[in-house]
Structure 1
Amino acid sequence: MAEVKGHCDNAFTKVRDLLASNIASEAELGACVCVNIDGKNIVDIWAGHTDENHQTEWQENTIINVFSCSKTITNLAVLICHDRELLDVNEKISKYWPEFAANGKENILVRNILSHSTGVAGWEQPIAVQDVCDVQKSTALLAKQAPWWEPGTASGYHALNQGHLAGELVRRVTGKSLKQFVAEDIAGPLGADFQLGAVEKDWSRISTLIPPPSLAAETGAAGLSADSVSMKALTGPTPDALFALTPEWRNAEIGAANGHGNARSVNRIMSTISRGGEVDGTRLLSQKTIDLIFQEQTKGTDLVLLKPLRFGIGYGLPLKESVPWIPDRRVCFWGGWGGSSIIMDLDKKMTISYVMNKMGAGTVGNPRTVGYIEAIYDCVDKMSNGTA
């Protein structure tokens, strides 16, 4: 088996062995897994390589673009603003961002951004990824658009633009850019190695990526008409995994998709929710705000991803039809394009994170993702039953 580095409690050797097996079989190139229970990292492991030539080993401080796992931190930023009474998730977006009221959007609520239900799931064409990197320009375009469906009635995954919408709210109510807020109010206080974009001094420790099938192909949207919500969202603009390795992407602030970190740092931040709002003496959320997350906003076939999903305020909620590997209890989660995942299990005071560089098919997790999560829960159950 391949060598796995880091720490793994004896009760979780099944998880370590699975990572080793996946690396050895080349199902994985490089990856890391972290499990925190009640404030302790009982699993913090990594293995494999950061390049296809197997010249550079994945290190403890390797970071990578985690794509939509970025949304979990971006939405946390909005919830922190709510907790500080700088905004109200039940208030109209236009109260804080008047320009957003254009074209019939005056009554859309902040929580509609956090549940992918604004009706503005992407940009009107023509738009390129390079345009999205100009956050001021591309955010202004979103403010001018009309919704593609009746806001609040269904989710339509805001794959690339959720961070623009949420980030503009953060900027309006705090005076800080989203990137600055994440650095100064979240990652910094928690000592987490996470950033939106990536400063140039860190580029040498960023892993490469192996792209998956296109999102349109894997969701089935490729066969739809060009004016369908799904095709408009997934081609406005078309995501390009390898563009994430360019200076232009790394220098931008794409709150929905260009966060850089690893399983440990994402876990550190998101354990805020699993641990009741406080991490090692740093409180970011009250229990009252955490409870808001579990207020169901939408449930049904997502208009962009074309699969059943259930959203609360900021995060996905368990739904057996689409994520049977996530327990149906007080759990919230989301993943990143290619398979990365972050799960906050409040009943267990547990946070699970997985980050990898060999991207697979699947919009809320690939088979490797599922394997790690099921192995972790099996170990937890055996530990609880005294059979570990």
Structure 2
Amino acid sequence: MSPVTIEGIVAPGFEPVADAFRAAFEVTDTGAALAVRHRGAVVVDLWGGVADPVRGTTWTRDTHTTVFSCTKGLMSILAARAVAAGLLDYERPVAAYWPEFAQAGKAATRVRDLLAHRAGLSAPREAVDLATALEWDAMTRLLAEQEPLWEPGSGHAYHALTHGWLVGELLCRVTGLPPGEMLARELAEPLGAQVLLGVPQDAAIEISDSIVGDGLARLTREQAEARRPGAIDWPNRAMTLGDAFPPELVAPGEGFNAPAVRAALIPGAGGIATARGLAAVWSATVVETDGVRLLDDETVTRGIEVVSQGEPVFAVPPPWSRWGMGFQLDSEARRYLGPTSFGHDGAGGQVAFADRAHEVGFAFVTNRMEAIDDHRATRVVDALRTVLTASGSAGGAESLAMRGSRSG
């Protein structure tokens, strides 16, 4: 295997975290970045590998990539801020803010149901094509009109893409801002964070295309072979909308690699970010970061109240995630630092979260999407947990530069 150069900084004491990150490059044609804030300070900021295997370009300090469902975590932060500001109430019906949503038996659906994947709208009843998925009004109107797939509030199933339009429209109704502008104003700009939603096709930023790894390709192939002819696979439709996206979500020049998709507002999966930007945002939810605190302690406590857990409405193999008010909580399905962690992972291996006990903001992003036995981010989180537990305090250390590190 050819050497992979990893660049960036690591604070003394956090070297095991860098070692775990280095293991992410065991497979060639991988690009990735890792950022960790502890008590607001940067203690890990690393990147390396390949940004574009076709052109042979390397991952740089400013390489952005699609972070998929990590975007839902950002939308949940915005929702929590709206609750703290008195614009939104988790217990009120969605229709109190979005009257059209009351159609087809959804009048009693609460905001908490919408955020915690209990709204019964995990997928469209009729297949949606890409042109429709790129039109905000078309998607929000479709969901407002749709009869739920199950009684809202009675169970949960992952709203893989629809979650973004549902929460985004709700926030638009109470703030008057489209979600991309709201994310920029409230999260990215105050922190100077490289986190975007809806990137113009002529934007002068470096975005790495996502590539499908062997594990993800194998998983989607096996799922297709197991599908019963004529039956709707609702978890699959939740990911693809039927006809809008490939099962892997990306292909060369297609899916979330397509410039038109990146330019659209798809808050369920369309965020574009650097690890550094994501880590700064999550850090600011639990501790003052670069002079900014996004959520106060009371708001965090309310936001991480368990709303959904256990077996979902549509059968998928365990382990299953746990959900607060849109936040993914620590569970066997996604192990964070512990019970005071909250965040959201994303398709293919992306992970971003905060931990209030350790005052940590964390983000791992990669362009090589995997599914089966993907332990890249988990190894890094485990290493970070070990470091924090052993040291008790790791902030304020002087950073060290890393260059020329050999993978594996």
Q: TM-score under structure 1 normalisation?
A: 0.91
Q: In 2 relative to 1, CA 339–89 (structure 1 residues): closer, same or farther, beyond 3 Å?
A: same
- Map of 1:350 onto structure 2: 360
The DSSP-based 3-state class of the residue aligned with 1:274 is: coil
Give the residue type in structure 1 aligned to 2:386.
D
Q: 1:124 to 1:203 in 2, by over 3 A?
A: farther
Return the alpha-carbon distance in structure 1 between the equivalents of residues 218 and 174 of structure 2: 34
1:124 and 1:236 in contact (8 A); partners too: no
Aligned to 2:341: 331
1:217 is aligned to 220
Task: Quote the offset at 1:292 in angstroms.
Answer: 1.0
**Equivalences for residues 1-388 of structure 1 within 5 A:** 1-23=3-25, 25-26=26-27, 29-53=30-54, 55-202=56-203, 204-212=205-213, 213=216, 217=220, 223-225=226-228, 226-227=231-232, 229-237=234-242, 238-239=245-246, 240-242=249-251, 243-275=255-287, 278-303=288-313, 305-307=316-318, 308-320=320-332, 322-323=333-334, 325-361=335-371, 366-384=374-392
TM-score, normalization by structure 2: 0.86
Which structure has greater helix proportion?
1
Letter of the aligned partner of 1:7 in structure 2?
Answer: I
Letter of the aligned partner of 1:6 in structure 2? Answer: G
The 3-state SS of whatever aligns with 1:151 is: coil
- C-alpha distance in 2 between matches for 1:234 and 1:55: 30
- Judging changes above 3 Å, is the alpha-carbon distance between structure 1 residues 222 and 301 closer, same or farther for their aligned structure 2 residues? farther
**TM-align CA RMSD:** 2.4
Identity %: 28
How many angstroms does 1:75 deviate by? 1.4
Name the CA distance, whole Å, in 1 between partners of 2:83 and 2:224: 35
By how many angstroms is 1:126 displaced? Answer: 2.3
Structure scoring higher RCO (CA < 8 A, sep ≥ 6) equals 2
Q: Deviations over 1:280-303 (max 9, x none)?
A: 333432322111122111111234
**Maintained 8 Å contact 1:28/1:356:** no
Structure 2: runs of 5+ lacking an equivalent: 395-408
In 1, Cα distance between equivalents of 2:221 and 2:331: 20
- Distance (Å, rounded) in 1 between the aligned partners of 2:341 and 2:191: 22
**Counterparts in 2 of 1:215 and 1:257: CA distance versus 1, 3 Å:** farther
Residues 1:7 and 1:202: Cα distance change in structure 2 (over 3 Å): farther
The Cα shift of 1:104 comes to 0.3
Where 2:140 maps in the other structure, the secondary structure is helix
User: 204-213 or 161-170: which moved more?
Assistant: 204-213
Aligned residues: 380
Secondary structure at the aligned position of 1:280 is classed as coil
Separation in 2, partners of 1:2, 1:176: 43
Corresponding residue SS for 2:208: coil
CA pair 20-327 structure 1, distance change in 2 beyond 3 A: closer
Give, in angstroms, the shift of residue 54 of structure 1: 6.5
| Counterpart-to-counterpart distance in 2, 1:229 and 1:3 | 42
Runs (5+) with no aligned partner, structure 1:
none
Q: Aligned residue for 2:404?
A: none
